[in-house]
Amino acid sequence: MKICVIGLGYVGLPLALQFARSGATVLGLDVDPEKTASLNRGESYIAHLAADAIREQLAAGRFTASTDFSLLRSVEAILLCVPTPLTRQREPDLSFVLNTGRALAPHLRRGTLVVLESTTFPGTTDEDLRRVLEEGSGLKAGADFHLAYSPEREDPGNPQSRVADIPKVVGGFTPACLEKALALYRRAVKTVVPVSSCRVAEATKLLENIFRSVNIALVNELKIVYARMGIDIWEVIAAAKTKPFGFMPFYPGPGLGGHCIPIDPFYLTWKAREFGVATRFIELAGEVNTAMPEYVVARVAEALNARAKALKGSRLLVLGLAYKPDVDDTRESPAFRIMDLLKERGAEVAYHDPLVPVIPATREHLAWKGQPSIPWEASAVSRFDAAVIVTRHAALNVRELQQWIPLIVDTRNAMAGVPCAPGQLWKA
């Protein structure tokens, strides 16, 4: 079987390699020629994805990368793994999905299966994507080609997370479309979960991410309440999770990051307005989580004030730019907002992240583009007045940090168990 995965990022590339390992011949398409050239050389541009995994499939002839959409004429299935960001007005941006649909439509053959994996609101697959595919190809979904939706469940940086082991939810436009999609995914994934429609599958993904967003907001709010009472939220969670039923631990932080949790709930919020429904719970969670960088900066100012220092003019080091531990993905990272706020208040701001040696271009934080990570050396780190731990990479040597810097604001409980001097450690 020959398939195509369009979009070779944190979702598409691992998926393409898993299908290749399962015996399919995989064409990887991406609009970025640098990415495809890198892959064809056997190089990985994703920190947690080993280059050996790419070279193995290249050598076996089961994987190749290209920017040429005309090659789609030779495949039996097309999987779309493209971004679904928000606009500046916090509304869904389907441009990547729809433009990809328009680009592939002229090359769509009868009998081909098209599956969308990008997270989106219910109705995207069977309305928006179907429309551009049918208009561009002259074919009809469910009659001339198959259409389905199967949400990605990638967990970057988790060594225990393997594409083959994560159950795959699949919904089809018609029963025949569903059967075609189930047969495809059963080649590469151990457990496939059929649902009654594309919309149910789309709603499933949103529920998963909204569940996390709401519960993280809850512990973020409790963090602030308990801190005022002199209670450590981390100790409370550790005690609560000893209960073997009725409780699932979630952890506070400096704000949400990544391409899912900060964005996906607003897809449902936007779509719900079409039906006259207000999603107050989701929006409240978004407000709480979005306010966390402000809380962190307030704690930094409070910690400095306790040492008779002003935030303005202080030299501050942000530790961890990636949105989660042990990945190089900076999308929607709260570190950017924290750095912006600190700089706006007159601080001198630098960062250290071993996985992000130079800040890449981002849509909302272009002012930081090109700034390098400072070296992890005593002479470099000790010149700062305070450090703010935003991301707890495994490579972060917290004991050296404790020795090198006089004031630490910890948003991740990274310093737990490390003896600090009185007033040296502040939690945020």
Spatial contact of 23 and 3, defined as CB atoms under 8 Å apart:
no
pLDDT for residue 404: 98
Spatial contact of 8 and 28, defined as CB atoms under 8 Å apart:
yes
pLDDT for residue 177: 98
Rounded Cα distance between 185 and 150, Å, is: 9
Q: What is the pLDDT of residues 11-55, one digit of tens each?
A: 999 999 999 999 999 999 999 999 999 999 999 998 888 999 999
Ranking 87-101, 110-124, 256-270 by mean pLDDT, the lowest is 256-270
Q: Is the dihedral of CA 56, 61, 62, 66 positive or negative?
A: positive
Q: What is the pLDDT of residues 144-166, one digit of tens each?
A: 999 999 999 988 777 778 899 99
Compute CA distances 241 → 224, 235, 237, 245, 251, whole Å. 20, 10, 6, 9, 11
Compute CA distances 422 → 197, 339, 359, 381, whole Å. 58, 26, 34, 20
Judge whether residue 364 has pLDDT over 90.
no
pLDDT for residue 276: 94
Residue 296's H or E segment, with its range, is helix 292-305
Report the pLDDT averaged over residues 80-103.
92
| Residue 346: partners with Cβ closer than 8 Å, 6 or more residues away | 310, 311, 312, 313
37: phi then psi, degrees, rounded to nearest 5:
-65, -40
- Token duo for residue 281: 């719970």
pLDDT grade, residue 209 (50/70/90)?
very high
Asked about 260 being catalytic, the answer comes back as yes
- What would you report as the CA-atom Rg of the chain, rounded to the nearest whole angstrom? 23
Q: Which domains does the chain have, with CATH numbers?
A: 2-197 (3.40.50.720), 205-287 (1.10.1040), 293-427 (3.40.50.720)
- Token duo for residue 390: 């935003």
Q: How many other C-beta atoms are found inside a 10 Å radius of the C-beta of residue 189?
A: 23
pLDDT grade, residue 201 (50/70/90)?
very high
pLDDT for residue 87: 84
Rounded to 10°, the helix 198-228/280-290 angle is 50
Polymer length of the chain: 428
- pTM to 2 decimals? 0.92
pLDDT for residue 348: 98
Catalytic position from the list 81, 198, 260, 420: 260
- Token duo for residue 145: 């080609």
pLDDT for residue 366: 86
pLDDT grade, residue 258 (50/70/90)?
confident
pLDDT grade, residue 1 (50/70/90)?
very high
Ranking 93-102, 246-255, 258-267 by mean pLDDT, the lowest is 258-267
pLDDT for residue 41: 97
Judge whether residue 259 has pLDDT over 90.
no
Spatial contact of 16 and 29, defined as CB atoms under 8 Å apart:
no
Residue 292: what residue type?
M
Please state, rounded to an integer, the average pLDDT across all residues of the chain: 95
pLDDT for residue 362: 81
Spatial contact of 144 and 175, defined as CB atoms under 8 Å apart:
no
